[in-house]
């Protein structure tokens, strides 16, 4: 349904003056012999009613005012939010008063750079919504409404800064909780908080090199510190035994992956859902000989495959209650040998290709 646009080419002052003149002409028509004044009265009154002067229209007078009034008539009345009108190239051609205050120094919405979309909105009088970080301090959501009669687009701006900041606060709290819980799990086994920090950064590096989107790499970085959260359910005498575990003790130790998964699996939060995958699968092996499910190859979630490599590298390179740190040469030989066995071969290749970057993290966050 097309929006009907009125197009007055007279100012409010002109309209008021014409009403006064029409009243004067009416008085003259009825109080003097000059009855023809009634035609001036009717002409002025009619043009005021339709807010359009025939003389102005004929000779192109007040075209700018007419265009401005077209825009004003297109806008919702008494709207406190900023509204602007843009053309098909995203140039701003009109602003309401709030729009003038907020977007005073802006002539073009450069973030609306899809010209095909803008033309489509105008042609079909369609709507479209976009969220934009407009300044360093402000977030806006913009509702675009194509108006075919105007050959332009109404852009309704709504300040959502407080909503965005509240969501960011919630996410930051989740991050802190996840990291703290991961650190608690490691502390119980007398490992340092730097272990989970290193594993998190190694995981992010490998995820990006593997080709995962930045958002997924960031999610894995946040989730990977929880890989050993299930250790909170393992007895201290097993968890911190200085020597080799017996077969029965190792069976108990292996349950930490399932314990961690069960702690996190029912959450609908992206970070905790990812953490449940990491906790469950970071001891699975590429050849299917891992635990707890003995799944193999790409059936192991990429988050599990990446965290497995990152965790083993950091474990081998660090002192533990049951062993001393390995020398780097021995670690690298181990990874070459375990390519396609314990670890995803592609990830092992990426590990070696980016070893300098990974090793810098190890040295930066040493225990």
The CA-atom distances, in angstroms, between 258 and each of 34, 83, 156, 269, 346 are 102, 54, 50, 19, 27
In the DSSP assignment, the letter for residue 10 is S
What whole-number distance in Å separates Cα of residue 297 and Cα of residue 281? 12
In the DSSP assignment, the letter for residue 111 is T
Contacts of residue 305, defined as CB under 8 A and 6 or more positions apart, other chains included, come to: 281, 284, 286, 343, 344, 347
Q: Among the options 231, 265, 269, 360, which is catalytic?
A: 231
Is residue 217 classed as helix, strand or coil in its secondary structure? helix
What whole-number distance in Å separates Cα of residue 173 and Cα of residue 167? 10
Is residue 337 classed as helix, strand or coil in its secondary structure? helix
User: Around 321, how many Cα atoms within 13 Å sit in the side-chain half-sphere?
Assistant: 17
Torsion (CA) 136, 137, 143, 147 in degrees, nearest 10 = -70
- Quick check: is 231 catalytic? yes
Torsion (CA) 25, 29, 35, 37 in degrees, nearest 10 = 0
Of 177, 122, 179, the residue nearest 145 (C-alpha): 122
Q: Which positions are annotated as active-site residues?
A: 231
């Amino acid at each position: 349904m097309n929006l009907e646009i009125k197009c007055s080419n007279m100012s409010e002052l002109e309209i008021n003056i014409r009403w006064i003149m029409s009243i004067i002409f009416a008085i003259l028509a009825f109080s003097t012999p000059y009855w023809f004044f009634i035609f001036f009265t009717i002409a002025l009154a009619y043009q005021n009613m339709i807010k359009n002067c025939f003389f102005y229209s004929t000779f192109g007078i007040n075209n700018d005012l007419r265009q401005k009034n077209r825009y004003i008539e297109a806008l919702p009345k008494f709207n406190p939010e900023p509204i602007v009108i843009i053309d098909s190239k995203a140039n701003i051609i009109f602003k309401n008063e709030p729009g003038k205050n907020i977007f005073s120094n802006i002539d073009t919405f450069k973030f609306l750079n899809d010209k095909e979309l803008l033309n489509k909105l105008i042609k079909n009088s369609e709507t479209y919504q976009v969220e934009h970080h407009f300044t360093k301090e402000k977030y806006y959501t913009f509702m675009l409404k194509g108006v075919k009669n105007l050959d332009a687009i109404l852009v309704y701006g709504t300040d959502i800064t407080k909503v965005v900041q509240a969501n960011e606060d919630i996410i930051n709290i989740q991050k802190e909780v996840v990291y703290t819980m991961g650190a608690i799990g490691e502390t119980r086994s007398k490992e340092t908080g730097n272990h989970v920090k290193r594993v998190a950064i190694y995981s992010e590096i490998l995820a990006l090199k593997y080709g995962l989107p930045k958002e997924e790499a960031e999610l894995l970085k946040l989730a990977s510190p929880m890989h050993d959260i299930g250790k909170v359910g393992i007895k201290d005498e097993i968890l911190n035994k200085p020597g080799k575990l017996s077969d029965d003790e190792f069976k108990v130790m292996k349950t930490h992956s399932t314990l961690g998964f069960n702690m996190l699996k029912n959450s609908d939060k992206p970070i905790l859902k990812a953490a449940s995958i990491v906790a469950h699968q970071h001891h699975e092996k590429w050849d299917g000989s891992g635990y707890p499910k003995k799944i193999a190859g790409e059936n192991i979630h990429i988050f599990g495959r990446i965290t497995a490599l990152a965790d083993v590298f950091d474990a081998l390179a660090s002192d533990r209650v049951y062993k001393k740190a390995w020398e780097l040469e021995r670690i690298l030989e181990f990874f070459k040998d375990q390519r396609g066995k314990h670890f995803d071969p592609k990830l092992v290749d990426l590990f070696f290709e980016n070893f300098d970057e990974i090793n810098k993290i190890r040295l930066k966050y040493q225990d």
